[in-house]
Structure 1
């Protein structure tokens, strides 16, 4: 099979035209007919007719991955990852915070006070970056005082003690609503998500809830209710989404780590466009307890960070069963075996040349440099067959939009206008998928997982760009509603969907910059539960890539 990417056949709409289009989609009679025409024009009929063979509509069992070569607790693994980052003295990484606290250069209270001032400056007024949905500065200051006392006594809870982090507002944090970027979810939650609880137990200082694309349904990162999240590299450009501000806060220097959630690239896309690292771990590796369900079969929650070492440390703290998330129950022990080994002899990189090169020239050039860094370290490149992008597109779209629509159905039935126009467009499509489409999609998911794992018996990771373009400009004239622009969505998601469908882990790592100075990300996808290998390769890529500082950036340690 030769590489083919179906053209995107959809108009670019905004303003009055977009409102009229959405109202038509939602209307009885002509609405379903229009949706069906859009689906047919975009290639769904070929997918509906494509046989899934003998695959049943259940997920293919994920194999256990490579076992650890040593036994360490989560805290020991996190400390190991931080210790490995000693070569980053000028960047405000987790290691830099730990070093500054240990040496007495500063303390968590002083850091938090500086951060509150910086957040007020960057996220207040007409020129705000659109970073936060909710904060409680006084609570953060009290947590910083407790961390400072532990550190003075020489009893830190972990290497994250006193380190600032931010949560996407898709993750429960006791005392806050979990808005999902909407205006109608205002009920304060009484308990922490597993992710928030584990971060608190590690001593991390949670600065607040980050802005996101409404219900995580779009990879652009614009929110009609809470404002457009703006990219610290150029505030006239998008951050990507849906974990939009989770990427921006790290890039802007407000914290070395944040939490994102990824049903279709929502960690990896903003990581790439904001010049940071993002890990979508294996499906179920990090428990989703306390993360409101939006897309059960493709959803992941996970770390975003300044460096690979930072992300590795948070991954170590967050991973493992919690006794509640059914997907997370049966999994091998997480580990970082071989993590610091930069010699890659024997590692095979799967690469499909026409697929890899289906991106902007600067993106391809930077990602080729990443491949070169890996091969210089001893890895070899293995040419692999092209993906069936039409099947991947419709399988993923059917599953995620059907599940998001089901999750939001009470609000849709009560008053669809509570959602922004881009969300309403996608939810209208989700309501028109058939039950047979959904079962068909689950069968193809099983088939593709089985086939991908068979392919990966011959390679260790698959490498592509993360996105086909760097951060597009914000369509300022269309705000606050934004626009429907499917070619941009396709460029952001082209390399993304298969990892969500199969549950395989995937990592986005900074690979350099385009000619406009915007970040490029390279994407590594591995076998289930082999995050340690992705992080190991990510360190090699990261150390070879050019580093710069964003136009909007703060320092709190110096």
Structure 2
């Protein structure tokens, strides 16, 4: 089979034309318009493609080999961070630890500096559009408690006193979880498992940050809370939907953040903002306290300045909580071999025509990253091309059907309160038939089974994370945004299979294009082998140039 990607035929639409399109989709004529839209995009070939004997159930994810090292993941992460001197001028978790324990800096001092920086960066006409909710006095109290523990030599974890932000898709007691909407205003009464584990580790949660409305688009624009802007160039997108989770780390406000990923929503903003993002194996990190938007493809997970930072947060967050059903049946998480920079025996799966289906500078930087991996001893195994049309429609049917179902009552009661791009995608989700969803679930099973067979011969599959660096924000179309499916396709082309199959995937910085915008490399692994992805990401990171974005703060000096 030769590599083929069907061109996106949908026009770019904004303003009055987009409003008219959305109104038509939601009217009695909507079925006709939607039918033509999806047929023009290739759905009929997908509907006719047999899934063989696959049932509409997820293929069981194999547990693989047990950890080679007996230490718990948190101990391994602590050891790795302690052994890694922070790169100059990079305010990593390691840099925070040294500032607290050797430089005499107090978490309260850091938090006060951060409050000043947040006010400067996130207010006025040049705001970055990051925070949607903060409680500065509560943050100061948390920092004071952390300082007391550090002074007494009794930190709760390696993350005690480390500032973190949460995507506004994750419950934090006392704060609304808006999901990027304007109508979800009731405060959460309990912490999500993710927030609870962060608090138990002593991390200082600065607040809730901006996201694409209901996480339904990968571009990072929000009609209610404003466009989240990229610190590398505020006229460019952050990517989404964990838009501000990526931008806050890139801007220096925290070395760690929490994102959520149903279709690249951790990895896309990580790539466009020049940071690291991990979508762990499906269920590896519990979703308890994360309002359900897309049950079968959704993941919550860590984003951070460096691979070590993300490894530390992954070690803290992963593991069953006794409540999330998907999270229950999994092997213990670990970071076995994480510090080993010798990649002898590691096989990198690459389909070159697929890998090269991206902007030339993206391809060039990602090839340099592959060269760093092979110089460390890894070998390249060439793979056959994926069936992108099947992957696209299988993922689109599942995620949009589930989002339409999760938002059904809200759409019925207040459709006009949603942004135009959300209404467009929700209309497509409602247009799918029940047999389409069953068909998609059967293909998910088949695609997972086939991917696991492929990965018997390779250890990771490598592509760029996105086919382009951060696109320009369509300023004239704000605040409503636009429907621009070619941009969406460029951001999601390499993303969807990891969500469909539940396999873990990591985006790690791979350099910059000519305009100084970051490029991301994407590594997808076998289920429960996050430790190998992080190990390879560490090798790429150490071979890659690092810079600070033009919009950036330093709070440790």
- Taking structure 2 as the reference length, the TM-score comes to 0.99
1:127 positional shift? 1.1
Alpha-carbon separation, structure 1, partners of 2:88 and 2:72: 26
CA contact (8 A) 1:213 1:220 kept: yes
Distance (Å, rounded) in 2 between the aligned partners of 1:106 and 1:83:
18
Aligned partners of 2:504 and 2:526 also within 8 Å: yes
Alignment of 1:476-555 (within 5 A): 476-555=475-554
CA contact (8 A) 1:177 1:189 kept: yes
Q: Given that residues 86 and 94 in structure 2 are in contact (C-alpha distance below 8 angstroms), is that contact kept between their aligned partners in structure 1?
A: no
1:111 aligns with 2:78: no
Residue matched to 1:12: 12
SS in 2 for 1:507: strand
SS in 1 for 2:19: helix
Distance 2:508 2:521 in 1: 5
How large is the RMSD of aligned CA atoms in angstroms?
A: 0.7
The within-5 A match list for 1:129-528 is 129-528=128-527
Structure 1: segments with no counterpart, 5+ residues: none
Instruction: Note if contact 2:272-2:519 (Cα within 8 Å) is conserved in structure 1.
Output: yes
State the Cα distance separating 1:104 from its structure 2 match: 3.6
CA distance in 2, matches of 1:427, 1:518: 32
Name the CA distance, whole Å, in 1 between partners of 2:68 and 2:483: 49
Q: Any idea what the Cα deviations from partners look like across 1:287-337, whole Å, max 9, x if unmatched?
A: 000000000000000000000000000000000000000000000000000
Could you tell me how far 1:415 is from its partner in structure 2?
Answer: 1.8
Find the aligned partners of 1:90 and 1:78 in 2 and give their Cα distance.
Answer: 22
Instruction: Please say if residues 449 and 501 of structure 1, whose CA atoms lie closer than 8 Å, have aligned partners that are also in contact.
Output: yes
| CA distance, structure 2, for counterparts of residue 476 and residue 89 of structure 1 | 35
| Stretches of structure 2 lacking an aligned partner (at least 5 in a row) | none
1:44 matched residue in structure 2 = 43
Distance 1:389 1:276, change over 3 A: same
CA distance in 2, matches of 1:525, 1:66: 17
Q: Quote the residue 1:23 is aligned against.
A: 23
Q: Check 1:448–1:84 CA distance in 2 against 1; reply closer, same or farther (3 A cut).
A: farther
2:466 and 2:342 map into 1 onto residues whose CA distance is 27
Runs of 4+ in 1 over 6 A off after TM superposition: none
Q: SS of 1:78's equivalent?
A: helix
Distance 2:86 2:251 in 1: 21
Q: Answer whether contact 1:66 1:530 (CA < 8 A) is retained.
A: no
Distance in 2 between the 1:556 and 1:18 partners?
A: 43
Note the C-alpha offset of 1:74.
4.3
SS in 1 for 2:339: coil
Measure how far apart 1:368 and its partner are: 0.2
Please state how far the C-alpha of 1:438 moved relative to its aligned partner.
0.1
In the alignment, the residues of structure 1 paired with residue 493 and residue 68 of structure 2 have an alpha-carbon distance, to the nearest angstrom, of: 35
Deviation at 1:87, TM superposition (A): 5.0
In structure 1, how many angstroms separate the alpha carbons of the residues matched to 2:84 and 2:24?
54
Cα deviation, residue 522, structure 1:
0.3
* Partners of 1:393 and 1:107 in 2: CA distance: 49
C-alpha distance in 1 between matches for 2:459 and 2:426 = 37
Contact 1:84 1:309 in 2 (8 A): no
Shift of 1:83: 1.9
**Distance in 2 (alpha carbons) for counterparts of 1:294 and 1:81:** 35
Shift of the alpha carbon at 1:557? 0.4
Q: Conserved in 1, the CA contact under 8 Å of 2:86 and 2:92?
A: no
Partner of 1:121: 120
Tell me how far apart the structure 1 counterparts of residues 270 and 241 of structure 2 sit (CA, whole Å): 11
In 2, Cα distance between equivalents of 1:474 and 1:435: 36
The residue matched to 2:205 in structure 1 has which SS? strand
C-alpha separation in 2, matches of 1:78 and 1:141: 27
The answer to whether the 8 A contact 2:285-2:318 is kept is: yes
Could you tell me how far apart the structure 2 residues matched to 1:510 and 1:104 are?
Answer: 29
C-alpha distance in structure 1 between counterparts of 2:103 and 2:273, whole Å: 31
CA contact (8 A) 1:123 1:130 kept: yes
Q: Deviations over 1:319-358 (max 9, x none)?
A: 0000000000000000000000000010000000000000
Q: Is the 8 A contact 1:257 1:311 kept in 2?
A: yes
1:65 equivalent in alignment to 2:64: yes
SS at match of 2:441: helix
Render the CA deviation track for 1:210-238: whole Å, top value 9, x for unaligned: 10000000000000000000000000000
CA distance in 1, matches of 2:83, 2:177: 35
The separation in 1 between residues aligned to 2:20 and 2:383, in whole angstroms, is 45
For the Cα contact (< 8 Å) 1:89–1:96, is it kept in 2? no
**What do residues 459-490 of structure 1 show as CA deviations (whole Å, max 9, x unaligned)?**
00000000000000000000000000000000
Q: Tell me how far 1:126 sits from its aligned partner.
A: 1.4
CA drift of 1:89 comes to 4.6
Q: How many residues align?
A: 557
SS at 1:362 equivalent: helix
Match of 1:94 in 2: 93
TM-score with structure 1 setting the length: 0.99
The answer to whether the Cα contact below 8 Å between 2:133 and 2:208 also exists between their aligned partners in 1 is yes
SS of residue in 2 equivalent to 1:446: helix
